[in-house]
Structure 1
Amino acid sequence: MKQFIIRSLPLLILILGHVTFGQPVADTDFTFELVKAAYQANEGPVITIDEGHNNLHKKDGGLSVLVTALEKDGYQVKANESAISDEVLKSTDIYVIANALHSSDIGNWVVPNPSAFTEKEMDVLVNWVKDGGRLLLVADHMPYGGAAEDLGAKLGIEWNNGFVIKPGQHWPPSTFSLESGTLKETEITKRKEDFETITKLASFTGSAFKAPKDATIIFAFDDSHEVLMPDTAWRFNEKTKKYNSKGWQQGAYFNFGKGKVVALGEAAMITAQIVNDQFKVGFNSPHAPQNLQFALNIFHYLSDHEKYVDKNEIIENLNVAMEEAFNSGDMLKVASFYADNAKLYGPNGNDVEGRAAIDNYWKSLEGKHVSWELETHELNWVGEECHQIGVSRLRFKQNNQTVTATTRFYLVWQPQDNSFKIGKDFYHVYQR
């Protein structure tokens, strides 16, 4: 074991970016598509990410890729840089704590590692969960396990303030699978849709804990790992206390009063990061192809999600909103459904392009509106774009008479601002 530690530790530090080497950065180039959105854009539950406790992972930092996925999924995500209070919690549905740290441990990862939270904060949070709040608590290897130990204890979790490492493993991740029995089939790993099924997960070092007796274990260690208890982070020697990891978990969930808690002993598994410009850790790792869906499943469980949004329904609802804006005479609102760089391809080369031109195009109908009806014939999805084919019947006043312009149209809806905007509008008048 001593030989393994001496040989492997520099590589582990190099890869994970701790202490000596640069910290991980979010992999903003990591691309993904959601199979389905859980909620309409900006209409899902409110998720608040804790940033008031020296958190390693923040909304616009380590968790930024996860936040992007959650927002695409329809959730509303915000950050809390202050203390945990009733005022903060009353406006949130799910509270997320990822790798909180006491200020005395900043740059000084030596035991003991005091709680990141005051007694008052912990009591407020625990009572909120009891009353129906939802909590995702993530605490990585030492000193983060120590920083979460007191809060965990109030929730019935015995958190270990150490490192969980597989002897002889030169590079994480640790893998948990249904096949090996280390990953369990649960309400989080197997939901209603086939694409939500999780059969394998990867975690990147981290801590271990023992969940309450009534908890559902998501993934747990067998006897292949060891729990190391150094007095200083990443410094291991023959005096380092160690014991087998069997009987310890790294993922679990349980009801707590009227609320729900999900606990994870590893944070990188719900991120997408690059370390030292070369190592991929989290969603972007080739070892972790199901980690992103797993992370979304956690929030679906916490928010009691039942039914996915029909993407076609989103487009149809946008059509209805456009009709309503026209019928109320708000032409600038009609124009707002177009992207700033959109282009309308009209008959006889009468094309309109760009924000100002599109605004003026629709403003020309101010005071002339009567009614507008959009009839969809086809909705075809190409990647994240929707191509809509249909018929438009637009009635307006012209020379004191009501005129009906019937056109065939082809719209290209492009994802933007957590919704869709028209990027291209092809239309041809065939009856007037």
Structure 2
Amino acid sequence: MNLDRMFQAGLGLAILGVVWAVWPQPGLGAYTWQNRFRRSAYHRGPAVLIDRGHWNRSVPDPRFEGLLQMLTWDGYQVARNRQDLVPELLRTTRVLVIPNALGWKGVLQPLVGKVGLRLHPQAFSVAEVEAVRDWVHGGGSLLLIADRAPAAEASQALAGEFGVRLVDGGESTVPFSRDGGLGDDAIANGRPEEGEEVEYAVSFSGGKLWGPPGSMTFLKEQGVAFESGRGRVVALTAQLAGPQGRSTDNRQLMLNIMHWLSRR
């Protein structure tokens, strides 16, 4: 084999590795389009910005397309962003959603990890971390999702600014109920007069997290919420799976998260 063919073969393997890393994983839909079970929360609601500019693993995933549809149906003004997170962009945003930001090193990590190498991915620049931190402290709301390795490691610099520790984990299905794992707080309870209580939820995959003192832990070791300055933060290390055997309140839980972040 000559050098040109060796180079082409190596490049082909690298591309296959990248595709494998970002391709949607098999499994149940996290947020299916079955959301017309009550009236929308908003007529023309707050601006929600979905980050897609940091090699987000969820970008091509139809499960998160379902999330976008659900938020749009609930009245949020949803936009997608591929730019750096700068103050000028965040200024017009009420809720910033960052799902599984990997950075380019995080995309390659599953490939090079097979030969024992670690790239220590960092999805965000120092300037972006500072911009998001200052924006939240000034009144913005952040939903940070890191449910597939190495998203927790890649997002730790940002999470750490708010006192959150993220740890990557493997694939598992975890049930949460009032008898175990599900919190008794503003997110799990929602607005009882509107029938928003969450009784049973199921998460799939993900790692663990720990929030700062005083956090609401609405999902044990997988979901926390807290005030930060004048803003609010929710961190998740679990994908909310679809119904498994019995009906779940996963969609209601996600809506409660967004309503809390947008101060509904």
Secondary structure class of the residue paired with 2:133: helix
Aligned residue in 1 for 2:70: 69
Counterparts in 2 of 1:45 and 1:107: CA distance versus 1, 3 Å: same
Counterparts in 2 of 1:83 and 1:286: CA distance versus 1, 3 Å: farther
Separation in structure 2 between the aligned mates of residue 213 and residue 130 of structure 1, nearest angstrom: 17
Separation in structure 2 between the aligned mates of residue 207 and residue 26 of structure 1, nearest angstrom: 18
Counterparts in 2 of 1:197 and 1:22: CA distance versus 1, 3 Å: closer
Aligned residue in 2 for 1:38: 41
Counterparts in 2 of 1:159 and 1:29: CA distance versus 1, 3 Å: closer
* Alignment: residue pair count: 236
Verify the 8 A CA contact 1:30 1:284 in the aligned structure 2. no
- 2:242 paired residue among 267, 283, 287: 283
Aligned residue in 1 for 2:106: 105
- More RCO (CA 8 Å, sep 6+): 2
Verify the 8 A CA contact 2:151 2:168 in the aligned structure 1. yes
Cα deviation for residue 283 of structure 1 reads 3.3
Q: Which amino acid aligns with 2:196?
A: E
Counterparts in 2 of 1:219 and 1:67: CA distance versus 1, 3 Å: same
Cα deviation for residue 69 of structure 1 reads 1.3
Counterparts in 2 of 1:121 and 1:57: CA distance versus 1, 3 Å: same
Verify the 8 A CA contact 2:50 2:80 in the aligned structure 1. yes
Q: Which amino acid aligns with 1:291?
A: N
Counterparts in 2 of 1:73 and 1:107: CA distance versus 1, 3 Å: same
Secondary structure class of the residue paired with 1:48: strand
Aligned residue in 2 for 1:251: 223
Secondary structure class of the residue paired with 2:109: coil
- 1:297 paired residue among 229, 242, 256: 256
Separation in structure 2 between the aligned mates of residue 198 and residue 216 of structure 1, nearest angstrom: 15
Cα deviation for residue 66 of structure 1 reads 1.4
Verify the 8 A CA contact 2:206 2:237 in the aligned structure 1. yes
More strand by share: 1
Aligned residue in 1 for 2:186: 187
Verify the 8 A CA contact 1:102 1:147 in the aligned structure 2. yes
- 1:402-413 aligned at under 5 Å gives the runs none
Verify the 8 A CA contact 1:102 1:113 in the aligned structure 2. no
Aligned residue in 2 for 1:308: none
Q: Which amino acid aligns with 2:188?
A: T
Cα deviation for residue 50 of structure 1 reads 0.3
Cα deviation for residue 287 of structure 1 reads 5.1
Secondary structure class of the residue paired with 1:38: coil
Structure 2 residue ranges without an equivalent (≥5): 1-19
Cα deviation for residue 212 of structure 1 reads 0.3
61-70 vs 121-130, greater mean Cα deviation: 61-70
Aligned residue in 2 for 1:115: 122
Aligned residue in 1 for 2:58: 57
1:14-48 alpha-carbon deviations (Å, 9 max, x no partner): xxxx76x96348959743423121011xx100100
Q: Which amino acid aligns with 1:203?
A: S
More helix by share: 2
Structure 1 residue ranges without an equivalent (≥5): 1-17, 166-171, 221-248, 270-281, 306-432
- 1:135-146 aligned at under 5 Å gives the runs 135-146=142-153
Separation in structure 2 between the aligned mates of residue 94 and residue 108 of structure 1, nearest angstrom: 29
Q: Which amino acid aligns with 1:211?
A: G
Aligned residue in 2 for 1:87: 88
Cα deviation for residue 285 of structure 1 reads 4.3
Verify the 8 A CA contact 1:189 1:294 in the aligned structure 2. yes
TM (normalized to structure 1)?
0.51
Quote the RMSD (CA, aligned, Å).
Answer: 2.3
Counterparts in 2 of 1:106 and 1:32: CA distance versus 1, 3 Å: same
Counterparts in 2 of 1:216 and 1:106: CA distance versus 1, 3 Å: same
Secondary structure class of the residue paired with 2:186: coil
Separation in structure 2 between the aligned mates of residue 26 and residue 142 of structure 1, nearest angstrom: 18
Secondary structure class of the residue paired with 2:59: coil
Separation in structure 2 between the aligned mates of residue 158 and residue 84 of structure 1, nearest angstrom: 21
Q: Which amino acid aligns with 2:123?
A: A
Separation in structure 1 between the aligned mates of residue 51 and residue 97 of structure 2, nearest angstrom: 6
Aligned residue in 2 for 1:23: 25
Verify the 8 A CA contact 2:32 2:63 in the aligned structure 1. no
Secondary structure class of the residue paired with 1:108: helix
Cα deviation for residue 105 of structure 1 reads 2.5
1:78-136 alpha-carbon deviations (Å, 9 max, x no partner): 00111101121012100000100020232432334321000000000000000000000
Larger Rg: 1
